[in-house]
Amino acid sequence: MKNETNNEETDDYMTNDKIAQPGIYSTRRKLNECVANNVIDKCWRCKPDWAQNRQALAQCACGFAKGTTGGQGGEIYMVIDPSDDAENPKIGTLRYGAIQNKPLWIVFEKDMIISLKHELVINKDKTIDGRGVKVEIANGAGFTLPNVSNVIIHGIHMHDINQTEGGLIKATEDQPAGMRYKSDGDGMAIFSSSKIWIDHCTLSRVVDGLIDVTLGSTAVMISNCKFSNHSKVMLLGADDGYLDDKNMQVTVAFNLFTEGCDQRMPRCRLGFFQVVNNNYDGWGSYAIGGSSAPTILSQGNKFKAPDGANIKNVLRRADAPEAESMKWNWRTEKDVLENGAIFLASGADPTLTSEQQGCMIQAEPGESVANLTNAAGVLTCLVGQPC
C-alpha cells in the first residue's frame, strides 16, 4: 500500500525511543515524515497545521457516519477546568460546553483527568477533540448521547468508569437540571441518536459496556479505537424485541481489540453492520456475535484466535435454533484467520441499497490490518507537526 508523506525535505532523523506514538516513525525515518495507513487517517494526520484547522476533521467522517459534522461551523470552546458539577455546570468545564444548544468544537487547554460525578449528557452538534493534550475520563461516570445527532468524539482516553447514583443533571443549556436515574456504568451510551462518530479513543475497564449503541440509533461509525481489559466491549442493539433497530447501520473499522477483551466486538441485533479491517488479537468467549438476524459483513479483518481448543470460533449466534441462525447473512471477505481461528459464514451476500453502497468502506486485505491499525487509540499529537 502506498503511504502518504509530507513533502518537507530534511536530513534529520528520529528514533523510536524519542517519541511516544508507535506507528508514526520507524527506527530510521526522517523527522516530520508522516505515515497514515488507513483512509480516515490519510484525510488529516499528515497535515502539520491540523491544530490551526481542527474542524477539517469533520470532512474525514465516512462509513455510515458519513456527513457527520459534529461542532463544525461553531466556535472553539476551551476546557480549562477539570471539575464537574452536574446540576450547575461551570463555564470552562467539559460539561458546560457539552450541554450548549449551539454547535461547538470542544478542545482542552492542558492535560487533565476528569472524574464525572454523574453521566455527561452530550447535546447535538458537538465535537469533543482531545488532540494535542492527554485527556482522561476516569474514576467516575461516562458519556451519554440521548436522542441527538452530529456528535464527534475524538482522542479521549476513557477508563475505570463506575456506576453513579441518579440525581439532578443539566442536559441542555436552556432547561433546568432534571432527575436522571442511576447510570449503568457504560463508557459511552448512545441511544435514539444518529450521525455519531467515535475515532481514536482508548477504552478499558468500565462496569457495563465500553460502547453501547441502542434504541433506534443509526448512522454510527466507531473507528481507530483501542479496546482492552474488558468483558462486554461493544453492544449494537440491546433488545431482540426493539424492532426499530432493524434500521440501525453501524461501521466498525480500523480498531484494535487486544489484551483482556472477552466478547462483543461487536454483538449485533437486527440491523446492518460493516466490520472492516479490524485487528483481533485474541478473545475470551468469542469476537463477533449477535441475534435476531442482523446482517454482518466481516471484511478484511485479522482474527488471531486465543490458545485453547474450545474458543477458536470467531462467531457466536445466540437466541435461535441453528437451522434458523445459519440463514442469517454473516459473510466473510478478505479476512485472515490465525492460530486456528474459525469463521463459519452463513446466509448470502446481501443486496445493498444505493445509500449503503455509498457508505461502505473499501476493505483492504486482512494481511494489511497490522499497518492499518498500528496507530489505534489516542494519538500523541504535537502542535505544528503531523499527528
The residues that are catalytic are 264
Q: What is the DSSP letter of 323?
A: H
Strand ranges (DSSP E) for 80-217? Answer: 104-108, 112-114, 120-121, 126-129, 135-140, 143-146, 149-154, 157-161, 167-169, 178-180, 188-191, 194-199, 202-206, 211-214
**Other CB atoms within 10 Å distance of the CB of residue 364:** 20
CA dist list (Å): 221 to 199, 227, 294, 327: 8, 15, 17, 26
Task: Dump the DSSP string for 65-76.
Answer: GTT--TTTTSEE
Q: How far apart are CA 142 and CA 289, in angstroms?
A: 25
Q: How far apart are CA 330 and CA 32, in angstroms?
A: 42
Query: What is the three-state SS of 290-321?
Result: EECCCEEEEECCEEECCCCHHHCECEEECCCC
**Other CB atoms within 10 Å distance of the CB of residue 353:** 11
Largest CA distance in the chain: 64
**Dihedral angle over CA of 352, 240, 257, 196, nearest 10:** 60
Q: How far apart are CA 316 and CA 303, in angstroms?
A: 14
Q: How far apart are CA 211 and CA 233, in angstroms?
A: 7
Rg (CA), the chain: 20
Q: How far apart are CA 148 and CA 122, in angstroms?
A: 8
**CB under 8 Å to 345, separation ≥6 — which residues?**
330, 331, 332
